[in-house]
Structure 1
């Protein structure tokens, strides 16, 4: 018989959009329900998607706990959990498949319909939360709630981590790694194809590493920060372009004799999406992985898309139970280094400092350590 218990913990709580997070020690987390796992958080990466929540651009109702690039150790398991036990070292994907809907059972669990319904509600797959304040007030979370000492996650989101890998170094696999893997996989890139990557944050730099691993041809990194472009060269880019210094569309077409075969857009704003569609080669592919605010409307010249035969591919992460183990193998083989994305480590009490650095473009990924 499983012993059910509630844990009091420390967490970074968002009470109102565009206000600093508040470190609270009056948060309680319930035992996991059927198919769920409670983990003791080792580290959580800070991603721009979290900042979008803090600013209300991704409107998850506060109060809430964000953080979705989570690594840790299993503390407690719910009923019907057969693949994990207390003491297991794990990493969580930001996608939480139900394993039962049409997309899940047809191999597209990154597009889980049940998860999609609950993602912006700040709840588990069953529409409820395991979080609350000590006085009983409800508390929601964003894709895991990793900016805390503990988190409850569906077992379908978790992957075991080999003992030889540092849990802190692989935390960012949960979003940066998985999103990049899904993008490269969706693009179906052939050896030697020219690929441009728009955006040199955690996801863009992960894409560059994976393009190198699969044998892409020229890998062109496009960004606005010199130091991030230098990092792109270190991680596998063959060319870099600073979008503040040149006309990107013109330059990409000139240096590739007509445009890249594939453009992977990781910037997530109107300008970079428009740029990608205009710069790609006739008959090329544009993979969109950057997430603009949910209310953003981006005009597209349909005639250009049709006449040029451009394929637009939307890619939302990867498949946790299929792709995350493969990502871990790439890490073990030295073909993907998630720790190369980490530009700082902060205690939970310092999280607002980390958020500020990310907003100012002075960080790629920061790790938040809860204890």
Structure 2
């Protein structure tokens, strides 16, 4: 299928464009707790082992909201361009980049995969740490950002910043995908869907005919429900305080849903009664310490397994050691356990081959200048995923 944007970038990219600064629009967070401002920014050319991307579409993730309005705002420098769940087209490449060319369709990755370190070479983990420390504080390998506004450096969220029409990322934090993939759909594989789906099929290793409870029916939770269904679970119980999400959960495979507000007992006791002692697998997809504890305690002793997929920096959960000693297991997952560079293209293939749902997650499509509306929809629970077109 002919793609005009890719053709345009190939046609007009070259030594001259690779060296020029690009002026474009971005949704900028000048300070924590305040709405984003649409600003004119400058995006520098890529340096060694870096790639500059034209962002085409980006999802609005709860993690973005958390780092603007929640506890996460305490640990990130400002001004900051948020956004990390995106897809786009390579505009230019820096020196020593060998795996990407202008016109390639790509998904930027907040979790790198260098392919050379001990962690990348091990099947036990996907936790590559290439450029990790710098990207966590909003800069690239040389300690600086490629985005600036009004002469001031702007930090790149998780080394990405997809709420900007152009951005620059390390070549180890980028997945090349097939040329016929719709970028406004596969952008969701940059974070939420991959995380929840992988929590079930990779980290949890949910078995056929098992019982599962998924806590939180946002994008990550619905993806976990989908993963449980793909794995062959016979009973998948969605747990959420917003009953409006129950119909959508059924689309992804939930066999029933429970609202904790409808019960006087703690939800873990309700689930234990529903399942003759507890579920085989619980997946926590909210990022709340109290819900993490409830999810863990909802599993069956002797063999129950709980996977924490929700992200939080508000504190650690209080786990009763005795419950672990009785045979339960507790594990965490980051980006669903996927080896980012090599596995994301496979997930794109699964979507294109109708083995993986993505369209059903998208409840709203908005332009960049409506980004604050998207945050409002997310916080109110009125959206699963809003996709921003840049």
Fold shared by both chains (TM-score > 0.5): yes
Match for 1:32 among 40, 46, 58? 46
- Answer yes or no: is 1:245 the counterpart of 2:226: no
Cα contact 2:120–2:128 (8 A) shared by 1: yes
Given that 1:197 and 1:222 are in contact with CA atoms closer than 8 Å, whether structure 2 keeps it comes out as yes
Partner residue, 2:100:
84
Matches within 5 A, 1:242-321: 242-246=259-263, 247=265, 248-282=267-301, 283-292=303-312, 294-306=313-325, 308-317=326-335, 318-321=338-341
Moved over 6 A (4+): none
Structure 2 CA distance for aligned equivalents of residues 94 and 181 of structure 1? 17
How much has 1:162 moved relative to structure 2? 2.6
Alignment correspondent of 1:66: 82
Q: Aligned-pair distance for 1:51?
A: 0.5
Q: Distance in 2 between matches of 1:120 and 1:321?
A: 18
Question: Residue 13 of structure 1: which of 7, 20, 28 is its match?
Answer: 28
> Post-superposition shift, 1:258?
1.4
* Distance in 1 between residues matched to 2:283 and 2:150, nearest whole Å: 45
Q: CA RMSD in A?
A: 1.8
Is 1:213 aligned to 2:241, yes or no?
no
Aligned length: 366
Provide, for residues 310-333 of structure 1, a one-character-per-residue CA deviation record: whole Å limited to 9, x for no partner. 111110112212321221122122
Question: For 1:237 and 1:227, how far apart are their aligned partners in 2?
Answer: 14
Q: Structure 1: any 5+ residue segments left out of the alignment?
A: none
SS in 2 for 1:156: coil
Task: Provide the residue aligned with 1:353 in structure 2.
Answer: 373
- Residues 366/274 of structure 1: CA separation in 2 closer, same or farther (3 Å cut): same
**In the aligned structure 2, how far is the partner of 1:255 from the partner of 1:115?**
46
Q: What whole-Å deviation, never above 9, does each CA across 1:40-65 have from its counterpart, x for those lacking one?
A: 11111000000111025222111010
Distance 1:61 1:341, change over 3 A: same
C-alpha distance 351-245 of structure 1, shift in aligned 2 (>3 A)? same
Q: Deviations over 1:280-299 (max 9, x none)?
A: 0112111001012x242332
Closer, same or farther in 2 for the Cα pair 1:345/1:361, shift >3 Å?
Answer: same
Structure 2 counterparts to residues 42-121 of structure 1, below 5 A: 42-58=56-72, 59-107=75-123, 110-121=126-137
Mapped to 2, the partners of 1:73 and 1:114 lie a distance apart of: 23
Aligned counterparts of 2:125 and 2:90: Cα–Cα separation in 1:
23
- CA deviation after TM superposition for structure 1 residue 357, in Å: 1.4
